[in-house]
Amino acid sequence: MKKMPPAHMLRASVAIFLVAALAACSSTPDKPKPADLPANVALLGVRQAWNVKLGDIGFPLEVNVSGSTVALASGNGTVLALDAKTGRELWRTAVGTPLTAGVGSDGKVAAVVTRDNEVVAMESGKVLWRQRLGAQAFTAPLVAGGRVFVLAADRSVTAFDGQTGRKLWNQQRTGEALVLGQASALLAVGDTLVAGQSGRLVGMNPANGSTRWEAPIATPRGTNEVERLVDLVGRVSRVGDVVCARAFQSAVGCVDAVRGRVLWAKASQAAEGVHGNEQFVFGAEGDGKVVAWRRDTGEQAWVTERLRYRTLSAPLAVGRSVAVGDGTGLVHFLSREDGSPLTRVSTDGSAIVAPPVLAGDTVVVVTHNGGIFGFQPE
């Protein structure tokens, strides 16, 4: 009998898309026991400022930050905007069907993608337009420059007018037979649209979708489709013109997004994205080791094994710490200098399902059960 691919992978044919699931949620019967945690050292003061309840998540959520506003959504299609300082609800709407991607926003227009392969744009909680896509999407739309850009799982990129939904252009690329059912890279760097396609960052002209450059972080290798899968995964770390990203289970690397030149790439095995600051790029390996690479050279600065097998989220660099969520709903704050523990805080006991984000002075985390928590470090 032919072995089926893991649930978080899917074939790139529109006709045979499989149900997607987050890589972090996959499990095996012989999964190693998570590392025991010592007493909390509490070297960093972190106050829970607020808590809001939404619906269960169940899709690769990306929390959008625009100034002091965060936009996020539940799996059933409820989209919500909050004031990150107080947790106050600014608006809420229901798009009427479950989601596979979101939320993207420029602070005015917000956009999500539904399980029916529709991109839905909203303003102040009211639906502006809906447009059908040719394939499923798992990456939150990018809303920038009055346009909505969508990266689909078939590696197509489509641009829509942000106010009317009129399709402006579509660019289709070929790739490997399998793709990941989780978020990839899609961002703007100056006047270039940067998208993750297979193991490459691709710089595109946002006016027409033409390719300006390609920068491979990882190259497909292996004898079967699963071994050759090197899709880039979100989140990514951007500082100035340098974008650093992870290729699924193969590498972490940084790219000069003006010249389209790979600065460095290092072997690394994990399925969650990276974050960083001017000095370091931070990431969690698949076995729970947390690693810091020097941003300029890619050399390893430190590694900690204190959170082994705890099913970690992508990290967030915040002040003098690195925040990372785990599969039991804990948020760990580690020293950015050496990875030593500073403190940890609890949520609702369900897994942290979206990378923590920083809005103003508030760290926002979201759990699988739909708990939204605002924490304010000292």
Residue spans per domain, the chain: 43-56+288-378, 61-181
Q: In which band, very low, low, confident or very high, does the pLDDT at 229 lie, cut at 50, 70 and 90?
A: confident
β-pair partners for 111: 104, 121
Residues 6 or more apart in contact with residue 41 via CB below 8 angstroms: 341, 342, 343
For 43-56+288-378, the fitting CATH number among 1.10.10.10, 3.30.200.20, 2.40.128.630, 3.20.20.105 is 2.40.128.630
Same fold for the pair 43-56+288-378 and 61-181: yes
pLDDT tens digits, one per residue of 94-144: 999 999 999 999 999 999 999 999 999 999 999 999 999 999 999 999 999
Tell me 351's DSSP state: P
Reported confidence tier of residue 5, pLDDT bands at 50, 70, 90: very low
DSSP labels, 122-179? EETTEEEEEEE-SS---SPPEEETTEEEEE-TTS-EEEEETTT--EEEEE-----SEE
Closest CA to 54 of 376, 375, 373: 373
Sign of the alpha-carbon torsion through 36, 251, 22, 10: negative
Nearest Cα to Cα of residue 6 among 223, 273, 311, 224: 224
Instruction: Summarize the confidence of residues 134-157 as an average pLDDT.
Output: 96
Is pLDDT above 70 for 72?
yes
221 has pLDDT over 90: no
Q: How far is CA 149 from CA 12, 13, 169, 179, 244, in A?
A: 19, 21, 10, 19, 20
d(CA 211, CA 217): 17
Whole-number pLDDT of residue 10: 56
pLDDT value at residue 176: 59
Whether residue 48 is predicted with pLDDT greater than 50 in this model: the reply is yes
Residue 77 to residue 80: CA distance in whole angstroms: 10
Average pLDDT value for residue range 285-300: 98
Task: Provide mean pLDDT across the span 47-62.
Answer: 96
* Averaged pLDDT, 185-208: 96
CA distances (Å), 151 to each of 9, 172, 278, 304, 307, in order? 16, 10, 28, 34, 33
Give the model's confidence band at 8: pLDDT under 50 very low, under 70 low, under 90 confident, else very high: low
Question: What is 61-181's CATH number, 3.30.70.980, 3.40.640.10, 2.40.128.630, 3.10.580.10?
Answer: 2.40.128.630
pLDDT value at residue 78: 97
What percent of the chain is predicted at pLDDT more than 70? 92
Confidence of residue 3 (pLDDT cuts 50, 70, 90): very low
Q: Is pLDDT of 9 > 60?
A: no
- What separation in angstroms does the CA of 257 have from each of 213, 250, 272, 349? 9, 21, 21, 39
Angle at 358 between CA 266 and CA 203, to 5 degrees: 45
